[in-house]
Structure formats: structure tokens, C-alpha cells
Chain A
């Protein structure tokens, strides 16, 4: 069964710093990988979607990479802002499956 792990569980950085969130998964037979952010008491907002054939995706200050063979993905956030404070979740979709397997999340706090 696919297991998704995110490290660190929590991260606190000063405003303006660049940071990297890590996600690892045990089964490399994935269809795609998605990064989400979740604000307290809210639903999930999709940040980036990487198909299994892609190596990275960029959106604004966010860059996500995917190394399927090693079972890893990273989310890079440049020039962090207090508004980036949230929990970040990665999730993988198995090939042939409908649902997502979620990581446990990284709670990010950006200090002004």
C-alpha cells in the first residue's frame, strides 16, 4: 500500500527566506502528484500538479519537482511571506486508481 511521508512536520522561518518542503512515497507507480495548501478550518487549495512524465512545475514563487524513481518530490517556496503560513500537503495518485494518498503535511509558519 502506498505510504506518503512529509518532512518536516512543522517549519518556522523568517519572512523572505527560501524554503523546501519534502515529500516521499513508497510506490513509484504513480499517475501524478499534487501539492495542496490548507489554511486552518478550510478546505484544500491545489497549488501544483505534476504528471508522472514531468520533472517539475512552477507557479509564481512555487516550484515543485518530482523524481519518480526515487519516490520523492519537493516544494520550493521562494521569498516566503507571512501569507504563506499554512499546512502544505502532498498527495499521490496511483496508476489506475481514482483516489489520492495523502502525506501527513508540513505546518509552515512564516514570521514577519
Chain B
């Protein structure tokens, strides 16, 4: 069964609005979750590492004020795309890692389209 869920699976919003994406770890508590984005026909790009109870760690070039990450519980991390623009349209995927095997599990992704 699914280890990681994401909601919504697809969202369309207008330019200038904000969108929140939820990522839930279903099978185990996740102190760390990862947020990726993927452009068409490209591989995944790590955006940030979300740490439960503390600030997220952002990769170089990723605007932390634009992509707000909250990891308030051991099973839920949220990514909020603020003041979205058409260039933010992408596929956003979250993942968690098993603390025992270090196997990484991915959510089904969220397709964001900004019009």
C-alpha cells in the first residue's frame, strides 16, 4: 500500500494566489521529508529538506519566502507556493525515508498549473 500520500493531486490556480500542498507519511513517523519538483521530461530536482519542528533547509537557488515549508508533525509536511506565477507550474513530489533501511518513498505528486 501507499507509504506517502499527497493532496491535492492536481490544482489550477490564478497568478498571484497561493497554493498549499500536503504530504503525509502513512506508514511511519518521518522526522525528515523532502520536496522535489520535476519539469516535463526532466529528472527530479530537490527543492528543500523539511525537518519536523524546525526550519526547512533549502537548496541553492530555491526561494524560501516563495516556497514555504511547514513540518509541524511527524506525519505531515506542507509546501505553500506563495504568489504563484506561471513559471511555478510544475510537478511537485514529496518523499520520506525509512530510518531503518534508508529506502526512500515518494508520494504520487501534485500537478500545479498557474494560469
Contact = CB atoms under 8 A, between A and B. Distances in A.
Interface residues of A, number: 22
B34 interface: yes
B103 interface: yes
Most buried by B among A43, A44, A45, A51: A43
A100 B107 contact: no
Nearest to A36: B106
B73 interface: no
Main secondary structure on B side of the interface with A: strand
Contact of A46 (B34, B42, B105): B105
A29 interface: no
A99 to B, nearest CB: 5
Contacts of A49: 101, 103
Interface of A: 31-32, 34, 36, 41-46, 49, 51, 89, 91, 93, 98-100, 102-105
